[in-house]
Amino acid sequence: MIADALRVGRLAMEFGGLRAVDDVSLTVGAGERRVLIGPNGAGKTTLFHCVSGSLRPSAGEVVLFGREITRLAEPHRTALGMSRTFQISNVFADLPVIENMSLAALGTDRRKWIPHRAVGALGALRARGMDGLARVGLEHRADAPARTLSYGERRQLELALALNTNPRVLLLDEPCAGLSPAERQRISQTIARLPREITLVMIEHDMDVALGLADRVTVMHRGKVMVEGSPDEVQANPEVREVYFGHV
């Protein structure tokens, strides 16, 4: 039995002379909630890009449930059970919300190779999409064009899209960024309810959200892992307080 969902070994990402990710290693157990924190420019999102396949790292390896996937393309990682959201909203703005959901599900479905057939004709995909929208409290907006959603609703949709591929490992890049307090609470409660069959790795700047959801916290600074531990251990660490919170 494989106990680790995700393992990153000595990962590095260089852009010219800049080493944005510098010899990072971490292991996330199956079902774990891991949160990455750190100041802006610490390398968190670049690390996500390397793990998800958006970028090919300069060195190191990425292992998903025991399988080395460092050079595997993003769609193949999705097929193996990896999904992610992004800092910047990334939806088909002119399509209805439910069609966004159907297309996300279709990406991992063999029926995507059936030509000249409207997505709306695939009733099972719509039903699955409606279930996904209900999961994040957005079912009442199913037929609205995505461009009419508020910013908070778009973040809800992005989470629903990521979940609609039935991921085993879910990477969330600042899911609460730019949200009102009420919206942050709604999204964090939705994330907290996710089943432990989904391993969660999340970047989050809202410390109440981050420390409230995490089993373990990894602190990055200048491309490196600085500290790793439980939320209480990280919050009490004087080095973290100096670098991240701005005081000792």
Higher model confidence: residue 243 or residue 175?
A: 175
CA 232 to chain CA centroid, Å, is 23
140 and 209 co-located in one domain: no
**CB of 7 closer than 8 Å to CB of 63:** yes
162 and 173 co-located in one domain: no
Q: Find the helix or strand (DSSP H, E) in which 130 lies.
A: helix 123-135
**190, part of any domain:** no
pLDDT band at residue 96 under the 50/70/90 scheme: very high
Indicate the pairing of strand 169-173 with strand 18-29.
unpaired
User: Which pLDDT tens digit goes with each residue over 147-184?
Assistant: 999 999 999 999 999 998 889 999 999 998 888 888 89
Domain, as residue range, for 119: 89-166
CATH number at residue 5: 3.40.50.300
64 and 94 co-located in one domain: no
pTM of the model: 0.88
End-to-end CA distance of the chain: 43
Distance CA 64, CA 73 (A): 13
Distance CA 65, CA 5 (A): 5
Distance CA 248, CA 242 (A): 5
**149, part of any domain:** yes
